[in-house]
């Protein structure tokens, strides 16, 4: 179905009597902006701008909902409605369906009313976005409190069971995790530190979680300090709002118990080794 341009015009009996507004004049001004392109005209004559229950406006909204209109021209927002809330409601409704709304009176945006209109549009848009984000975050937190893992976090040693929404052990990867921890505690003669472990895994053609052939020392270090391996998986740990990532306060973290791969005593020994390496690197 081909989509059309629409012109919407409105005048109340009072406006016509006091100010000489006319439907033909509004249509003419809109048509001048449109040029030679054909347009459907929707006109409410003698109808107050205080209500949205207007025959022509309701017909225009039905056609927009049906996907028949892709662009609307109107003299200025006052013709849509005398109420700012209604103006905002209509523009939000139409733009959500991909319909472009054009006001012929280009100077409207420079008036106090125009400035307020566009400022409120932006503010309400941001409010709606923030409200949706908060609703989604609240839903994710509630799922986490129920002990459900929100998504596949790609943790080496585990697979994500989507039906149960839980982490389950990947036996092949879990064996590698155990090797890494034991190499850290009791390294073979040819493996020195975290870099040596990463090099050995690369030489043995062990793929990373994402299928890469090369292991980086930072990936190994993160695995050596990941408490998930002792059965403590935390959600709601990172705040990714405002286009940045920061660690939330510890009391906001949500613990999700999961099957352990590493014994807690082995994990503790490794943390002591990592701590001593950090001290030595600073000295």
Residue 276 designated active-site: no
**Directed axis angle between helix 217-224 and helix 264-282, to 10°?**
130
Return the structure tokens found at 175: 């064996």
Q: Residue 181 and residue 197: Cα distance in Å, rounded?
A: 10
Closest by CA position to 57, among listed 24, 90, 88: 90
The helix (H) or strand (E) run that includes residue 122 is: helix 112-145
Q: Which one from 2, 12, 81, 275 is the annotated catalytic residue?
A: 12
Q: Residue 30 and residue 75: Cα distance in Å, rounded?
A: 7
Strand partners, 8: 42, 74
Closest by CA position to 79, among listed 133, 23, 127: 23
Closest by CA position to 159, among listed 235, 234, 261: 261
Residues marked active site are found at 12
């Amino acid at each position: 179905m081909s989509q059309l341009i629409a012109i919407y015009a409105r005048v109340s009996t009072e406006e016509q009597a006091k100010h000489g507004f006319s439907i033909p004049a509004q249509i003419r001004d809109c048509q001048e902006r449109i040029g030679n392109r054909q347009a459907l005209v929707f006109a409410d004559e003698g109808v107050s701008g205080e209500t949205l229950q207007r025959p022509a406006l309701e017909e225009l909204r039905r056609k927009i909902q049906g996907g028949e209109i892709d662009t609307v021209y109107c003299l200025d927002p006052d013709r849509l409605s005398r109420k700012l809330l209604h103006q905002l409601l209509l523009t939000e409704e139409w733009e959500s369906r991909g319909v472009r709304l054009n006001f012929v009176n280009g100077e409207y945006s420079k008036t106090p009313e125009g400035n307020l209109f566009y400022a409120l549009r932006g503010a309400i848009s941001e409010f709606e976005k923030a409200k949706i984000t908060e609703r989604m975050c609240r839903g994710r937190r509630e799922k986490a409190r129920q002990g459900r893992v929100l998504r596949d976090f790609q943790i080496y040693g585990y697979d994500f069971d989507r039906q149960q929404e839980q982490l389950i052990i990947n036996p092949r990867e879990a064996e590698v995790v155990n090797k890494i921890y034991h190499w850290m505690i009791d390294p073979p003669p040819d493996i020195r530190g975290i870099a040596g472990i990463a090099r050995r895994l690369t030489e043995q053609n062990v793929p990373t979680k994402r299928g890469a052939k090369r292991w980086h020392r930072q990936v190994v270090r993160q695995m050596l300090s990941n408490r998930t391996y002792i059965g403590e998986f935390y959600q709601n740990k990172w705040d990714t709002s405002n286009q940045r990532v920061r660690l939330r306060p510890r009391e906001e973290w949500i613990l999700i118990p999961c099957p352990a791969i590493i014994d807690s005593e082995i994990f503790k020994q490794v943390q002591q080794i990592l701590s001593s390496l950090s001290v030595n690197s600073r000295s």
